[in-house]
Amino acid sequence: MSLSVETTAIPGLLVVRLPLHEDARGWFKEAWQREKMVALGLPDFGPVQHNVSYNAVRGATRGIHAEPWDKFVSVSTGRAFGAWVDLRAGDSFGATVTVELDPSVAVFVPRGVGNSYQTLTDDVAYGYLVNDHWRAGQTYPALALDEPTAAIAWPIPLDEAEISAKDRAQPLLADVTPMTPRRPLVLGARGQLGRALLAAFPDALGVDLPGSGAEASLDVTDPAAVAAWPWREHDVILNAAAYTAVDAAETPDGRRTAWQVNAQAPATLAKVADEHGLTLVHFSSEYVFDGTAEVHTEDEPLSPLGVYAQTKAAGDLAAATARRHLVLRTSWLIGDGGNFVRTMARLADDGVSPAVVDDQTGRLTFATDLASATRHLLTTDAPSGTYQVSNAGPAMSWADVAEEVFARCGRERSDVRRVSTQEYAAGKQLAPRPAHSLLDLDKLAAAGVSMPDALDALDAYLA
């Protein structure tokens, strides 16, 4: 038999067929082999504890308990009958799967799926890996072994089985409170991207700095506050928190804040993600490049210019240390709030003819499209790594974008006065900007994401 992974009627519950290498002495098996099993579709769930349950006599039956962690169950000696009932909130609540377990069969049990085992022989030992530690005071759903809707065909009748008094007193399915799914956490929820992420992930919790007016607050620059957060309630961290004042970052106060928010916080979050088995999604910027290349690929060496750029580059490196991570690099973000497009539309309506630089090129990225791409990458379980995300279409300068906005507002394109970056910066204290911000989207497309054209998205945004 070769190693294989099979799906079941319960989403996420997987049966694993394990090769046994036998000879006259007995047998050997790889009870857990991360590289091979993950390649076949098993989640890389990051176990932190290995437990062994020994049962002396045939008929020992353990109750249907839905623990708040994932587990990987494998029998070492004897045989057992396993029964699983989905106790998670959702369409599959109450679904049941049964499998006979011996040393050649293992099962991956996702968080919230009730599991029970009945020994079929004497001297049964089974081990299980879990990705969280047991803690006193934790409560979780349990179900009666004789639940009629589950209709579990126990090989040994329950009245002949060895069952604890506690497990005999568990409730029927109609009285079970389903385990609520873990929800994404959006950091920087009051920003343009944060708002779009909350719309794309309606079950997410949005948090921002204290006093921001967000649903909840978390100071991501305070390690103690981050450590105290209830991370077990979440499965994904969407880090849209950022210090984006590019010019103010060149000042002493701005420099300190930029390093705290853009670099220190992602490092803290990467550690949290690994400790709690979460996926970290970190949003970055094309400013990590110096702009000398006309098109930037994901593997281009980082070459930040100013302080803001340097902190974003450091944040990229920090976020990428998380075992499960997506670093999503974007450019010229436009969302719900103050931004370049809104400013140009207001100036057009006010009859102003602005001076706009025409020697910095790139693509607009609309926050709603970035949030949609983020959701696709997560729901399709895209491999960890860096992905560049912007809207599609040819490179445009800021002056080109301004002209497009003016034309859509009923003004003449010629009302936008084109200037060079050097002309625009004369007499101002401005941080350096990359001249070319165009991001290559081939890796994103290979992951199944087709981004809308930037001008089509602009039409929809201004409609």
Give CA 411 to chain center in angstroms: 43
* Short-list 181, 88, 91, CA closest to 143: 88
Identify how many contiguous H helices and E strands the chain contains and give both numbers. Answer: 13, 28
3-class secondary structure, 372: helix
Q: What is the 3-state secondary structure (H, E, C) of 246-304?
A: CCHHHCHHHHHHHHHHHHHHHHHHHHHHHHHCCEEEEEEEHHHCCCCCCEECCCCCCCC
Check 128, 308, 387, 461 and give the catalytic one: 128
- Return the amino acid letter for 433: R
- Return the amino acid letter for 88: R
**159: Cβ–Cβ under 8 A, 6 or more apart, which residues?**
none
- According to DSSP, the residues that pair with 216 across neighbouring strands are 207
d(CA 189, CA 198): 7
Residue 403's H or E segment, with its range, is: helix 398-408
Check 65, 140, 376, 424 and give the catalytic one: 65
3-class secondary structure, 447: coil
128 catalytic? Reply is yes
* CB 116 within 8 Å of CB 150: no
d(CA 105, CA 274): 28
* Short-list 332, 344, 334, 340, CA closest to 415: 344
Query: In terms of C-beta density within 10 A (0-12 exposed, 13-18 middle, 19 or more buried), how is residue 19 classed?
Result: middle
d(CA 254, CA 248): 5
- According to DSSP, the residues that pair with 217 across neighbouring strands are 208
Measured from the Cβ of residue 52, the count of other Cβ atoms closer than 10 Å reads 9
The two beta strands, 14-17 and 4-7, are antiparallel
Measured from the Cβ of residue 297, the count of other Cβ atoms closer than 10 Å reads 14
126 catalytic? Reply is no
Q: Which residues are catalytic?
A: 65, 128
